[in-house]
């Protein structure tokens, strides 16, 4: 049995700069199975960059991303997905011209290693369709299955972001502002979906919405200018003077 | 199950075959021209796979067409006059060049990619030009004599065999592409076209898949080139020309990209108008094509195949 089995995702000394701008400076973080960790911080703090370092979309200047004790430096973005690391996008990035069902089918067929097949109909694989139905049902999207995704309401598209990513059956899930731009009225829909995530999934939730964060997270990491300013339980963060002054000020005064 | 498949996939393609046969009897003296249309349809279909489905910008598909033509021509001259073997060789050569060049050009995107695809065709053009001993250079490769098809049907002067042969190959290509488009790889191609970023994020090795699609389409282009070499018994440097690639892209846009029937209709309409206009006025036929293209791009951005969809939306009911 590999040494690190079950320790989940570990970040060690991650550094990344864009030109002279250091957006990640010696970042360390543990995300064991079942974790519900939130990453908060002002715009430009480097949260999305960190998410991309985890998925392999960006390459760190220094430091390591490890899954179950294995360094992922040489593992491509595509291969990381197959090992169970998946991310949703802050800015909705879907296959707008395809139907909702086709969107999910792309994820499922790839996850099952069928994406390069020349033969057989993509829509006639019962195992694939079963997973699609399951995810559609979980997010209450069954009625929209045959709609073109580009025509869906924004809040619905955010749900598709989640459904598409969960079709990959991840073990580590990075959610980059899942409620970004969603109208107030539709946020409960997202919260409900997030609360229903599999228990043993490791979740890193990046968000601005404090209600969402305090509702879902067991552990909160505060990031400012590429560094981790503070971390702790929601109660600790809520009472942390520096954090309050720097970041939570208005939200808690109100 | 199989019958259902045949019903869905087979019927429209069978129609193509029937229309092809009607044309065969209706225009017995134009078979040479009609055969060129059929071959061009295969070539434009190959571009549709790359550009319309895969979203890979190309103006150099002639690289694969020309390679297939020379490979089949040389094969016929030096090794075997068997037409079917020659087709396989042409398709293989087209796929091979697409694979090798694809490994390089598909690293680029957008305009850079476009330039590189043109460059590959230009390089091959120059090689064919310089290698006179092998290719005949600017004089073209001649001396191609095909053995009878299936040992039975001779390639006659009027071009009856050639026409039916090309029609059969086109129908098979169409069956293949229709199956490919609904297969997982077809969906993958559309996904890459829609959003390469998201495809990478769901674990798709995008570059590798692009190379795969480019290679398959290269095989089809090579097949078209081989057909042309066999039917006309000649290969000229023109097979690598930029204008061949560009005209084929125009035909595709005219008919509608990302739709197999778009390639078919676009090619037919372009070539027929070209033929008629060039006969009526040899100097100004490009004008007609230009106006037609402007009209299509402005008024029906989806190409001629987009009209049907538009009408459907106009008259209620959903796409
Ligand atoms: N590809 C890039 N090239 C240059 N600068 C970038 C790039 N991506 C992000 N940045 C910059 O890095 C900083 C952190 O960005 P980001 O990680 O998106 O922040 P956050 O998600 O916390 O709002 C910002 O100042 C942003 O402008
Ligand atoms: Mg961000």
Give the chain B residue whose CA is nearest to the CA of A95.
B194
pLDDT beyond 90 at B244: yes
Q: CB distance from A82 to chain B under 8 Å?
A: yes
What total number of domains does chain B contain?
Answer: 1
Instruction: Round to whole Å and give the CA distance between A25 and A164.
Output: 31
Contact B197 A164 (CB under 8 A): no
Within a domain: B307: no
Within a domain: B108: yes
DSSP label of A90: S
Domain range holding B138?
Answer: 2-241
Q: Is A133:A142 a contact under the CB 8 Å cutoff?
A: yes
Return the domain boundaries, chain A.
9-96+170-252
- The alpha-helical segments, DSSP class H, found in A62-99 are 77-82
Q: CB distance from B203 to chain A under 8 Å?
A: yes
pLDDT averaged per 10 residues in sequence order, chain A, 254 residues? 70 92 92 94 91 94 93 92 94 94 96 92 93 92 94 90 93 92 82 88 89 89 90 86 67 41
Which atom of ligand 1 sits closest to the CA of residue A58?
A: 1
DSSP per-residue string spanning chain B: -HHHHIIIIIHHHHHHHHHHHHHHHH-TT-HHHHHHHHHHHHHHHHHIIIIIIT----S-THHHHHHHHHHHHHHHHHT---HHHHHHHHHHHHHHHHHHHHHHHTTS-HHHHHHHHHHHHHHHHHHHHH-HHHH-GGG-B----PPPBTTTB---SS-HHHHHHHHHHHHHHHHHHHHHHHSHHHHHHHHHHH-HHHHHHTT--HHHHHHHHHHHHHHHHHHHHHHHHHHHS-B-GGGG-HHHHHHHHHHHHHH-TT-HHHHHHHHHHHHHHHHHHHHH-TTTHHHHHHHHHHHHHHH-TT-HHHHHHHHHHHTSS--
CATH fold, domain A9-96+170-252, is Rossmann fold (3.40.50)
Within a domain: B155: yes
Q: Output the pLDDT for position A249.
A: 52
Contact A116 B188 (CB under 8 A): yes
C-alpha torsion angle, residues B185, A82, A13, A233 (rounded to 10): 120
Q: Where do we find the tokens 């994406």?
A: A115
Size of interface A-B (CB pairs under 8 A): 99
Nearest to B252 by CA among B241, B242, B266: B266
Instruction: Choose the mutation target among A80, A86, A118, A173 for the interface with B, i.e. most B CBs under 10 Å.
Output: A118
Give the chain B residue whose CA is nearest to the CA of A111.
B203
Within a domain: B233: yes
* pLDDT tens digits for range B90-129: 999 999 999 999 999 999 998 999 999 999 999 999 999 9
Q: Output the pLDDT for position B278.
A: 81
* pLDDT tens digits for range B173-190: 999 999 999 999 999 999
pTM of the model: 0.90
Within a domain: B26: yes
């Amino acid at each position: 049995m590999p040494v690190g089995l079950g320790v989940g995702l570990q970040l060690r000394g991650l550094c990344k700069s864009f030109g002279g701008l250091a957006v990640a400076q010696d970042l360390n973080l543990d995300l064991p199975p079942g974790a519900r960790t939130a990453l908060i911080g002002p715009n430009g703090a480097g949260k999305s960059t960190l998410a991309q370092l985890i998925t392999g979309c960006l390459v760190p200047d220094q430091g390591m991303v490890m899954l179950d004790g294995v360094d992922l430096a040489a593992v491509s973005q595509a291969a990381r997905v197959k090992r169970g690391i998946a991310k949703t996008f802050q800015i909705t990035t879907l296959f707008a011209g395809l139907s909702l069902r086709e969107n999910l089918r792309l994820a499922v067929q790839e996850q099952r290693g069928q994406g390069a097949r020349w033969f057989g109909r993509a829509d006639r694989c019962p195992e694939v369709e079963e997973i699609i139905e399951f995810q559609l049902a979980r997010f209450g999207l069954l009625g929209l299955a045959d709609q073109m995704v580009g025509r869906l309401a924004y809040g619905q598209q955010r749900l598709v972001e989640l459904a598409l990513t969960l079709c990959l059956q991840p073990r580590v899930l990075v959610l980059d502002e899942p409620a970004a731009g969603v109208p107030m009225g539709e946020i409960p829909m997202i919260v409900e979906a997030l609360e229903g995530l599999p228990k043993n999934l490791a979740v890193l939730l990046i968000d601005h919405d404090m209600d969402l964060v305090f509702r879902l997270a067991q552990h909160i990491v505060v990031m400012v200018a590429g560094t981790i300013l503070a971390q702790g339980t929601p109660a600790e963060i809520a009472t942390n003077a520096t954090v309050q002054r720097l970041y939570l000020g208005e939200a808690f005064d109100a | 199950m199989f019958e259902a498949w045949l019903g869905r996939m087979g019927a429209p393609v069978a129609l193509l075959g029937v229309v092809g046969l009607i044309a065969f009897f209706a225009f017995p003296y134009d078979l040479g021209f009609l055969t060129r249309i059929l071959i061009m349809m295969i070539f434009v279909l190959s571009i549709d796979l790359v550009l319309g489905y895969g979203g890979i910008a190309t103006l150099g598909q002639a690289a694969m067409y020309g390679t297939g033509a020379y490979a089949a021509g040389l094969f016929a001259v030096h090794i075997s006059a068997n037409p079917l073997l020659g087709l396989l060789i042409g398709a293989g050569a087209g796929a091979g060049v697409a694979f090798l060049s694809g490994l390089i050009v598909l690293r680029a995107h957008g305009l850079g990619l476009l330039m590189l695809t043109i460059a590959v065709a230009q390089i091959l053009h120059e090689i064919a030009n310089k290698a006179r001993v092998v290719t005949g250079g600017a004089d073209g490769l001649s001396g191609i004599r095909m053995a009878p098809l299936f040992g039975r049907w001779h390639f006659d002067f009027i071009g009856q065999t050639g026409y039916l042969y090309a029609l059969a190959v086109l129908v098979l290509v169409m069956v293949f592409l229709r199956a490919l488009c609904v297969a997982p790889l077809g969906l993958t191609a559309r996904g890459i076209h829609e959003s390469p970023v998201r495809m990478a994020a769901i674990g798709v090795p995008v570059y590798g898949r692009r190379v795969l699609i480019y290679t398959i389409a290269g095989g089809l282009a090579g097949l078209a080139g081989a057909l042309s070499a066999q039917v006309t018994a000649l290969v000229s440097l023109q097979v690598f020309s930029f204008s061949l690639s560009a005209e084929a892209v125009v035909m595709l846009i005219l008919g509608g990209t990302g739709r197999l029937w778009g390639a078919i209709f676009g090619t037919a309409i372009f070539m027929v108008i070209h033929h008629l206009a060039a006969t009526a006025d040899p100097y100004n036929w490009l004008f007609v094509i230009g106006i037609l293209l402007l009209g299509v791009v402005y008024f029906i951005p989806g190409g001629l195949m987009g009209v049907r969809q538009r009408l459907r939306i106009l008259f209620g009911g959903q796409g």
